């Protein structure tokens, strides 16, 4: 027991101890210890999670006979309710793709797809900043993996050229909008690279872009017209889509291959049918939410312009805006100051981000009004000038 306790003490000493917070989200706000704060830490980018009109409309479609809160078994046994088929068909249709496959979460998707599709004759080339769920998938894979420097395409192109003859398949793995830095991949450049090599596959995690980018809200690949070139396009429903679960857009052969080989799909209870129904309901609504997406983009631009341009060398281009503070203790202190001013912002520390880049992750929500953003900017500028 001593070892565990002393490890916790070390974490606390370095300002890196985490605790499960007691709080209650209420729409755009969050209440903690009786104090209400503007919630700028959730991934509810379109502000739909607590939208009463949407929830009421959805609830009217339910009745006790048809409404199910558990699937009671895995998809391959009796859990594959018709709502799965309808959701997957709709996703494939929206993306103009052959197939979609739905999972319980983005963590399931990312930790399961790579181990299933790679072997010891595969090479994974992954961006240095890919999400922990992808890192865990890489860890479970038998493939060799090289992490390339963040968004460094010269290095990536060199690695592909050097290794192309030595591996049966090469998987380039990245995110479209990066979860912690809020910057983006150059998708056309990745597609150009992939097209030069028949053995190269593109794996793109759009967790933070689904719902937010593109005319229909399908993500950055839609926005940039490259959906057809992405072999594994992963999206999640737990962020802008205000639900739970995830999906991959892929070929029908790949879908059937994953159904037969992917352990986090096979060995887990399927999602509750009511959850799948809600996801389908929301996905259909999101297609028409261009106004929310435009507002989110506009407030994102305003907050980015207000922050110190140096910002630890990190340049966000999205609604996720890191405010880099360096050491963890400093990030904790500034987070507390902002909370005191009514903004629920949290410190993001190692190991989630590299040492020395502890930060606040400002995660904007399309429900924020222009005056909310005015107040945020004034407070941030005041804090920046006092540091």
Q: Annotated catalytic sites, by residue?
A: 43, 131, 175, 179, 205, 208, 239
Distance CA 305, CA 298 (A): 11
Q: Which of 107, 171, 201, 323 lies at the binding interface for ligand PMP (CB under 6 A)?
A: 107
3-state class (DSSP) for residue 247? strand
Report, in Å, the least distance between residue 213 CB and ligand PMP.
14
CA dihedral 229, 194, 181, 154 (to 10 degrees): -160
Q: How far is CA 17 from the centre of its chain?
A: 23
Q: Judging by beta carbons within 10 Å of its beta carbon (0-12, 13-18, 19+), is residue 313 exposed, middle or buried?
A: exposed
Q: Which is nearer to ligand PMP, 110 or 318 (CB)?
A: 110
Angle of helix 328-340 relative to helix 370-386, nearest 10 degrees, comes to 130
Do the beta carbons of residue 282 and residue 243 sit within 8 Å?
A: yes
Residue 71 binds to ligand PMP (criterion: CB under 6 A): no
User: Reading across the β-sheet that carries 320-326, which strands appear in turn?
Assistant: 320-326, 358-363, 347-348
Q: Which is nearer to ligand PMP, 204 or 307 (CB)?
A: 204
Site for ligand PMP in 197-226 (CB under 6 A): 205, 207-208
CA dihedral 84, 89, 91, 96 (to 10 degrees): 160
Q: Which of 79, 238, 264, 300 lies at the binding interface for ligand PMP (CB under 6 A)?
A: 238
Residues 1-35 as b/e (b if ≥16 CB within 10 A, e otherwise) read eeeeeeeeeeeeeebbeeeeeeeebeebbbeeeee
Residue 131 binds to ligand PMP (criterion: CB under 6 A): yes
The region of 100-108, 112-120, 321-329, 338-346 touching ligand PMP under the rule CB under 6 A is 100-108
Q: Which is nearer to ligand PMP, 217 or 238 (CB)?
A: 238
Q: Which is nearer to ligand PMP, 167 or 178 (CB)?
A: 178
Do the beta carbons of residue 209 and residue 220 sit within 8 Å?
A: yes
Do the beta carbons of residue 359 and residue 321 sit within 8 Å?
A: no
Residue nearest to ligand PMP according to CB distances in the complex:
106
Q: Which is nearer to ligand PMP, 16 or 236 (CB)?
A: 236
Rg of the Cα trace of the chain?
Answer: 21
Residue 88 binds to ligand PMP (criterion: CB under 6 A): no
Report, in Å, the least distance between residue 298 CB and ligand PMP.
23
Q: Which of 41, 71, 99, 110 lies at the binding interface for ligand PMP (CB under 6 A)?
A: 110
Residue 115 binds to ligand PMP (criterion: CB under 6 A): no
Q: Which of 49, 190, 246, 321 lies at the binding interface for ligand PMP (CB under 6 A)?
A: 246
User: Could you list the residues that contact ligand PMP (CB under 6 A)?
Assistant: 105-107, 110, 131, 133, 175, 179, 205, 207-208, 236, 238, 246
């Amino acid at each position: 027991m001593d070892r565990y306790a002393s490890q916790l003490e070390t974490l606390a000493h370095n300002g890196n101890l985490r605790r499960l917070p007691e709080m209650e989200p209420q729409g755009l706000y969050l209440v903690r210890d009786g104090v209400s704060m503007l919630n700028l830490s959730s991934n509810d980018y379109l502000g739909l999670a607590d939208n009463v009109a949407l929830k009421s409309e959805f609830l009217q479609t339910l009745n006790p006979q048809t409404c199910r809160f558990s699937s009671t078994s895995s998809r391959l046994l009796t859990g594959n309710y018709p709502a799965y088929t309808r959701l997957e068909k709709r996703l494939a249709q929206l993306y103009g793709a052959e197939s979609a496959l739905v999972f319980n979460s983005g963590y399931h998707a990312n930790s399961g797809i790579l181990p299933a599709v790679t072997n010891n004759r595969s090479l994974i080339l992954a961006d240095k900043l890919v999400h922990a769920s992808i890192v865990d998938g890489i860890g479970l894979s038998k493939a060799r993996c090289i992490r390339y420097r963040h968004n460094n395409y010269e290095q990536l192109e060199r690695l592909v050229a050097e290794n192309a003859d030595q591996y049966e398949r090469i998987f380039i793995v990245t995110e479209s909008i990066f979860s912690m830095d809020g910057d983006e991949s150059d998708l056309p450049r990745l597609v150009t690279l992939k097209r030069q090599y028949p053995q190269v596959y593109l794996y793109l995690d759009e967790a933070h872009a689904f719902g937010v980018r593109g005319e229909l809200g399908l993500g950055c690949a839609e926005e940039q017209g490259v959906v057809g070139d992405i072999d594994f396009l992963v999206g999640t429903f737990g962020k802008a889509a205000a639900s739970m679960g995830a999906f991959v857009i892929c070929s029908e052969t790949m879908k059937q291959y994953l159904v037969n080989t992917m352990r986090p799909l096979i060995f887990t209870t399927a999602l509750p049918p009511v959850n799948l129904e809600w996801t389908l309901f929301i996905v259909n609504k999101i297609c028409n939410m261009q106004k929310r997406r435009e507002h989110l983009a506009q407030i994102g631009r305003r907050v980015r312009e207000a922050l110190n341009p140096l910002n630890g060398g990190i340049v966000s281009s999205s609604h996720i805006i890191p405010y880099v503070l360096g050491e963890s203790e400093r990030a904790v202190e500034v987070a507390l100051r902002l909370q005191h001013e009514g903004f629920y912002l949290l410190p993001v520390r190692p190991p989630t981000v590299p040492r020395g880049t502890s930060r606040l992750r400002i995660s904007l929500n399309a429900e924020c009004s222009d005056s909310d953003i005015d107040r945020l900017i004034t407070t941030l500028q005041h804090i920046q000038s006092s540091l």
